[in-house]
Structure 1
């Protein structure tokens, strides 16, 4: 998982603050390292795959979209709650 590329893609597609994008990219990297999506969904987690999944969310910031996806995976497969974003340093724009 190229976290820097994912951070850039998140900014381009969904906005959010730099801190928020970094924490989502960090959690995506942790999820990729766990290889859970390989088994549960049958695909490797890449920046493109993350952006495609987050695009299905009903809206919101990168972290809100990420948590929506993790909630769906938790409901379907279990074991994804630990990958939710719970906090990030908020930055004033």
Structure 2
């Protein structure tokens, strides 16, 4: 089963109380990560909606982006090369 962006966005909003825009950004990063093949090569598991939601459930409380960044940080420590998939916030 491959990553499904539309259903993933809905799950993120439902399960982690994310806004539509924030959940879309997480999904965009998840698609980039899946397309890179890096996660599957490092972990040996295909990146799917269920995998992402399960990993984000393990993160401390927060929005989808907070949880995503926590998980990406964990992957960066374990394997390196994941920082580019993090979500940055810019303030004006």
TM-score, with structure 1 as normaliser: 0.90
Report deviation, 1:74.
0.3
Task: Find the aligned partners of 2:34 and 2:86 in 1 and give their Cα distance.
Answer: 14
SS at match of 1:50: helix
| 1:19-34 equivalent positions in 2, closer than 5 A | 19-34=21-36
- For CA contacts below 8 A with separation 6 or more, give which structure has more relative contact order: 1
Aligned residue-pair number: 88
Task: Find the aligned partners of 1:16 and 1:8 in 2 and give their Cα distance.
Answer: 9
Give deviations 1:2-31, integer Å, cap 9, x for gaps: 111110110111011110000000000000
TM-score, with structure 2 as normaliser: 0.91
Report deviation, 1:87.
3.0
RMSD over aligned Cα atoms: 1.1
Gaps of 5+ in 2: none
SS at match of 1:64: helix
From 79, 86, 89, give the equivalent of 2:88.
86
Question: Does residue 1:6 correspond to 2:8, yes or no?
Answer: yes
Gaps of 5+ in 1: 89-93
